[in-house]
Structure 1
Amino acid sequence: MNDVYETFMKALRDILQTKLRPLVGLLPKRVQPLHMPARVTPQRAILRRAPVDISDDLAQTLLQISCPDPTTEDKLRDGHIAMGQRLARQERWGELSALIRKSDIGRNMTPGAMPAADLLAYGARADVVLAVEHALFDGSPPSDAPLLAGIEALEHVLAEHEGDPVISSIVAQSHMDIGWAWRGTGWDAEIPDRNHAAFAAHFDRAGDILSPFCPNTLQSPLLAASCCALLGGTDAGRRRVADRYEALIDLNPQNPRPMRAMGNHLLPRWYGSYKELELEAHRTAARVMETWGAGGYTWVMFDAISFDDEACANLDLTFFIEGLRDILARHSDPYTVNLLASYCANAIGQVYSGDDRADHNRKVIAGCARWIIRDHMTELHPMVWAHAAQGFDNSLHVRSPANFADSGRKDAMRIITRLFSREIAAGKRVVFTESGPEAMAGGA
């Protein structure tokens, strides 16, 4: 172990000796730069849904849509995560590093545009990160053991594979994940000093680990993503934020998550401004036009407008909707269709703020759910809809996945039933086929 690591561990032990206990009420949701951000605008409210005139059972009779469990996307993602977890548990770190490097170089992705390298790396650190999250959020004072044992073990792995960029990325991302678990994503003034100290210690250590590789990321999207994730723990300059994300996007423009993350980090509450957000969204659209058409603009604004009223009010609405169409013209896989449909109908469509311009734009975007579902939907992904109803909070603690998925299915069925109310009222069944929904005679 090097001196930097020993200094970090001493500092972290000092923090833990103060009997840190996170105040869960002050730690609402974490925002990982390459995942869905949390909803933060306090004045917004969820619209109450009007009751449906038909029962849930009858809706399932009148609407027939495949609801695979698990979906193809879920199976592929879970398979990559399980592989990373298994190789880490078996201490086959060299083999794991080679596999991740191969996936990273090959830009291997699931149909829903999730990089396989990211999933493998998450699986490799999942045991350590989840143990810490459980220790912090189970309601009892945390002990040193689960908070230190796992990360210490990963630090030993790092020492044994010194200079390996993949192992470095895994361990650094572990520190950052744990840091976010300590901090949450409230404003700085809301975070207890001791929790913020633990967050800072983990991010400092992650920065030390990645310093040999940032900003020169060896043409590796995985490393570039890790370097962008470091921005969450720094007072980064605005140009530096945009530059880092642009470099990451250029390495793999097929991956929309960096575009979404950049939009989030360019909001004033992080490192940017509304003017810069709009500028970078248009610049990104121009750079990825060959891959996404106008969709680059839509991906950058995707999360920003979902929880920031002024960003939504300033939206280039026509260009955003053109981007939705271009995304689906290029990626009409069931996951992407469900993501965009649930986003428009639920994450955006069930929210209001009192800002007339923002609410007008949200209403128009919510209306896009109609043509997305009618023109592109072939199967239902309940988990995607359930997460949309919660603002796509990737740190949401779901106690019952089955109940959570069922809530998403019911939400989707209510919304889809309304979209086909005319056909249903005419006594027809709506059957979703491989080529989309069809209204057929013979309703109940």
Structure 2
Amino acid sequence: MFSTPRRVLGALPSKLLSQTMARLHPSPPSPAAPVPEALLDVPVCDVSPEDEAAREARAQGLFLARQDRWADLSRALAAADTSRALTPGGTPLTDHLSYGARSDVVLAAEEALADGRGRCKTDRALLDGIMALEAMRQDHRHDPYINLVLAQAHIDLGWAWRGAGDPQALPKLSRHRCAAHFDRAAHLLDPFTEESRTSPALAAARCALLAARHGRTGDIADAYAALIDLAPGNARPFRALGLHLLPSRAGSYAELELEARRTAARTHPTWGAGGYAWVCFDAVVQDPQALAQVDVEFFIDGLKDIVARHPDQAMINMLAAYCAITLRRQPGAAATRDRIAGCASWLIRDHLTELHPLIWAHAAEGFDNNAHVSSTRRFAARGRADGLRAIADQFRDDLDHGLRITFTPEGPVVARSA
């Protein structure tokens, strides 16, 4: 610590001198009153069942690929696809198995593009991995699941070349490479059109490709409707459909509203009104006008129906974080935003029993799967702080009076602090 020279202090007036010395050498602080969060007793789930299931499935896919056990990988994908297996958080198991199998290739290419090496046409990190997958496919050219993994790798690389900016502003090489990867993915999936009518994994890849290539709104809506009907318990296609129906992509606000209502009607046995909420879930975060036009009563009824059908803590944390963090940070449509964000109160008070920090951290990023996370530990710590703050806000009066809030499996208990 730097000290202040005495000759400078000696020239100061006595009152100012005493103030300066107090700042430089403060008295030991008196014991501070507990901050509100210190009166919260909330079980924290640092590694959720969803995290564990996702990690295990990705590790299995990666292991089988590195061991060249492609036939075993195909059987694992087929079994998960046929059974519609989902992780505890509702993600298809096929997504994680396939990503694990292609992750070495995709991550190497993304790293090369991120540091600029990928601008070189001969960069080996971009070519060797995907060409190795292409060579492997020659022995499995009639296997739909091996073709699926390769097609998804091409889609990933296409997005890596495109990036998050305006496609029209890309350099010529990037546009060419992006289009070439999407074209190759389409060529790989085309022979399995008939299989995609019964396979959620293949249908999802076709939807992803159609959306990536900016297909017509009607085609995208029909493709996602078919996928949702195959696996209505998977909420991801609902959310993706809503995003792709925004005017900034391929649709309009009228089409978004129409498809949200149609989807809710078709999936009512599974989600009740939740189908409407799921289709609008990410769209209203991305577009203030979509938020302004959403049927707020229908949306809130949807949240309640989702909780009634899936009251697990991963879901409760996601919905509560969405309302308390994600929506609160959106501009415009204040009245609608505040109505939906206010649902955080009953979600936390009536349904939350434990905190999942990573979910809250992702909520602060708008649930952007492409968000860069340099440190998982810091990312989780930020989510934990955000979650505790949001919970404290719901019990502010009790906490300000020194009451302690303890979360139990039956719900929060308010009592005097010891």
Fold match (TM-score > 0.5): yes
- Residue 395 of structure 2 corresponds to residue 385 of structure 1: no
What is residue 166 of structure 2 aligned with on the other side? 187
Q: Distance in 1 between matches of 2:88 and 2:415?
A: 30
Query: Which amino acid in structure 2 is aligned with residue 404 of structure 1?
Result: F
Q: Is the 8 A contact 2:37 2:389 kept in 1?
A: no
What is the deviation of 1:300? 0.2
State the 1:185 CA deviation.
2.8
CA contact (8 A) 2:232 2:270 kept: yes
Q: Which amino acid aligns with 2:222?
A: D
- 1 CA distance for matches of 2:247 and 2:195? 27
Using the TM superposition, give the Cα deviation of residue 252 of structure 1 relative to its aligned residue in structure 2, in angstroms.
0.5
Q: Mind listing any 5+ residue stretches in structure 2 that lack a counterpart?
A: 1-31
Of the three residues 41, 53, 58, the one matched with 1:76 is: 53
The answer as to 2:77 corresponding to 1:93 is no
Higher helix fraction (1 or 2): 2
Q: After superposition, give the CA deviation of every residue in 1:142-199 in whole Å (9 maximum; x if it has no partner).
A: 5511001110111112111011111111100000111111111323333233212111
Match for 2:380 among 390, 405, 417? 405
Structure 1 unmatched runs, 5+: 1-54
Report the AA paired with residue 67 of structure 1.
V
Go from structure 1 to structure 2 and tell me whether the alpha carbon gap of 1:109 and 1:141 turns closer, same or farther (over 3 Å shift). Answer: closer
The aligned counterpart of 1:171 is: 150
Query: Is 1:209 the counterpart of 2:188 in the alignment?
Result: yes
- d(CA) in 2 for partners of 1:56, 1:317: 41
Find the residue that maps to 1:349 and give its secondary structure: helix
Inter-partner Cα distance in structure 2 for 1:98 and 1:216:
15
Match of 1:280 in 2: 259
Quote the Cα distance in structure 2 between the aligned partners of 1:119 and 1:276.
31
Q: Counterparts of 1:432-443 in structure 2 under 5 Å? A: 432-442=407-417
Equivalent residue for 2:314, pick from 321, 329, 335 = 335
**1:70-101 Cα distance to aligned partner (Å, 9 max, x none):** 11211111111111111111111101110110
Q: Give the one of 371, 379, 383 matched to 1:396.
A: 371
Q: Which moved more, 1:131-140 or 1:98-107?
A: 131-140
The Cα shift of 1:296 comes to: 0.1
Rounded to whole Å, the distance in 2 between the matches of 1:396 and 1:273 is 26
Q: Distance in 1 between matches of 2:260 and 2:242?
A: 7
What secondary structure sits across from 2:84 in the alignment?
Answer: coil
Partner amino acid, structure 2, of 1:217: S
Structure 1 position 387, deviation (Å): 1.1
Is 1:110 equivalent to 2:87 in the alignment? yes
The residue that corresponds to 1:416 in the other structure is 391
- Which of 248, 251, 274 pairs up with 2:227? 248
CA contact (8 A) 1:200 1:233 kept: no
Corresponding residue for 1:39?
Answer: none
CA distance in 1, matches of 2:387, 2:172: 42
Aligned twin of 2:294: 315
1:35-67 superposed Cα distances (whole Å, 9 cap, x missing partner): xxxxxxxxxxxxxxxxxxxx9984443111111
Q: Residues 78 and 145 of structure 2 are in contact (CA less than 8 Å); yes or no, is this contact kept in structure 1?
A: yes
One-letter identity of the residue aligned with 1:174: A
1:124 partnered with 2:101: yes
CA contact (8 A) 2:268 2:275 kept: yes
Alpha carbons 1:59, 1:413 under 8 Å: kept: no
Residues in 2 aligned to 1:132 and 1:359: alpha-carbon distance in whole angstroms: 42
Q: Which residue of 1 aligns with 2:268?
A: 289
Q: Which amino acid aligns with 1:282?
A: R
State whether residues 62 and 424 of structure 1, in contact with CA within 8 Å, keep that contact through their aligned partners in structure 2.
yes
Q: Percent identity?
A: 49
Q: What amino acid does structure 2 have at the position aligned with 1:432?
A: F
Counterpart of 2:85, as a letter, is: N
Aligned AA (1:421)? R
Partner of 1:363: 338
- Separation of aligned partners in 1, 2:389 and 2:144: 48
Quote how far apart the aligned CAs of 1:111 are. 1.8
Q: Deviations over 1:250-298 (max 9, x none)?
A: 0000000000000111111112111111000000000000000000000
Which residue of structure 2 aligns with residue 350 of structure 1? 329
Distance 1:271 1:56 in 2: 55
Q: Which has the higher contact order (CA 8 A, sep 6+)?
A: 1
User: 1:271 and 1:405 mapped to 2: Cα distance?
Assistant: 35
Match of 1:5 in 2: none
TM-score, normalised to structure 1's length? 0.84
| Separation in structure 1 between the aligned mates of residue 194 and residue 415 of structure 2, nearest angstrom | 57
Letter matched to residue 163 of structure 1: H
Counterpart Cα distance in 1 of 2:43 and 2:320: 16
CA distance in 1, matches of 2:39, 2:64: 46
Q: Is 1:146 aligned to 2:125, yes or no? A: yes
* Structure with greater Cα Rg: 2
Q: In terms of mean alpha carbon deviation, does 119-128 or 132-141 score higher?
A: 132-141
The 1-side partners of 2:383 and 2:264 are apart by: 31
Segment drifting more, 252-261 vs 128-137:
128-137
Distance 1:381 1:89, change over 3 A: same
C-alpha separation in 1, matches of 2:33 and 2:239: 35
Aligned CA RMSD, in angstroms, stands at 1.6
Aligned ranges 1:299-314 → 2 under 5 Å = 299-314=278-293
Number of equivalences: 385
Aligned partner of 1:270 in structure 2 is 249
Separation in structure 2 between the aligned mates of residue 115 and residue 259 of structure 1, nearest angstrom: 14
1:439 match: secondary structure:
strand
For normalisation by structure 2, the TM-score amounts to 0.89
Q: Deviations over 1:97-151 (max 9, x none)?
A: 1011001100111121111111111111111111111111135565511001110
Given the superposition, is the C-alpha separation of residues 347 and 190 from structure 1 closer, same or farther in structure 2, using an over 3 Å criterion? farther
Instruction: For 2:384 and 2:214, locate their aligned partners in 1 and report how far apart those are by CA, in whole Å.
Output: 41
